[in-house]
Amino acid sequence: MYIIVVGGGRLGYYLLKALLNEGHEVLLLEKNERICQNIIEEMGSVCYRGDGCEAATLAEVGTGRADMLVAVTGDDEDNLVACQVAKHKYNVPRTIGRIRNPQNEVLFKKLGIDVTVSTTNLIIEAIEREVPTHPLTRLLTIGEKGLVIVDVKISPESTTVGKTVKELSLPSESKLALIIPHEGSAHVPAASTVLRAGDQIIALTSPESEEALRAALRGV
């Protein structure tokens, strides 16, 4: 796979290294000559000096045949433009943009950037996972389908403890995938499965039904 990485900061540097290790054809675009030179000295000719937002630069590095462009500069606006130019001028099938301001996720999605990675959101999600009181955590977003995989914890106070799965009024867009009990091994929930305090439920849902799912699983 031919992958173009825009932005040779620390993130771009380690991404380049990791992707090369996986055996991909990777090219890093970086404006700063010194950074570029250092990378070339260390890893060979895998870095090209230029502005990844400029159509001319992208033409020179053969963006037309790239399978993916990943924009990881420190500025959301630069990442947005690099992805848009790649998409609209060179028909790159997959574009990934890094965002700093989590609010920009909506805009990036609206403008057709395939995947957005928000470091801020990732850290928030990690915090939520670490804080046991948080009842529902997003584990993964499945972009194309508009679905999320969530983790719901059943606490002793949940009014659903002792009820069977059949008795829960789950939203139609949510499917329970797995129950990980406090003790014992994980199992796939059946209609007759009884909820216990300490259960961790992995479910697939639409983001809109997330709140309804949490309410159905934990009671009020």
Partner 1 sequence: MKVVIMGCGRVGARLASLLDADGHEVTVLDNDTYSFRRLPPTFGGTALFGNGIDEEALRRAGIEEADVFVAVTQGDNRNVMACQIAKHIFNVPRVMCRIYDPLREEMYSTLGLETISPTKVFAQLLREKLEG
CB of 85 to partner 1, least distance (A): 6
Distance CA 159, CA 185 (A): 23
Task: For partner 1, give the closer residue by CB, 86 or 136.
Answer: 86
Task: For partner 1, give the closer residue by CB, 43 or 55.
Answer: 55
CB of 81 to partner 1, least distance (A): 4
Task: For partner 1, give the closer residue by CB, 88 or 134.
Answer: 88
CB of 78 to partner 1, least distance (A): 5
CB of 198 to partner 1, least distance (A): 40
Distance CA 106, CA 111 (A): 9
CB of 107 to partner 1, least distance (A): 6
Task: For partner 1, give the closer residue by CB, 39 or 53.
Answer: 53
Distance CA 108, CA 14 (A): 24
Question: Interface residues with partner 1 (CB under 8 A)?
Answer: 53-56, 75-78, 80-81, 84-85, 88-89, 101, 103, 106-107, 110-111
Alpha helices in the chain (DSSP H): 10-21, 33-43, 55-60, 76-90, 104-110, 119-130, 210-218
Task: For partner 1, give the closer residue by CB, 52 or 189.
Answer: 52
Task: For partner 1, give the closer residue by CB, 66 or 136.
Answer: 66
Tracing tokens 């993130």 back to the chain, one arrives at: 11
Distance CA 82, CA 5 (A): 10
Residues counted in the chain: 220
- Contact 205/173 with Cβ under 8 angstroms? yes
CB of 153 to partner 1, least distance (A): 32
- Contact 92/62 with Cβ under 8 angstroms? no
Q: Which are the contacts of 78, defined by CB distance < 8 A and separation ≥ 6?
A: 6, 7, 52, 53, 71
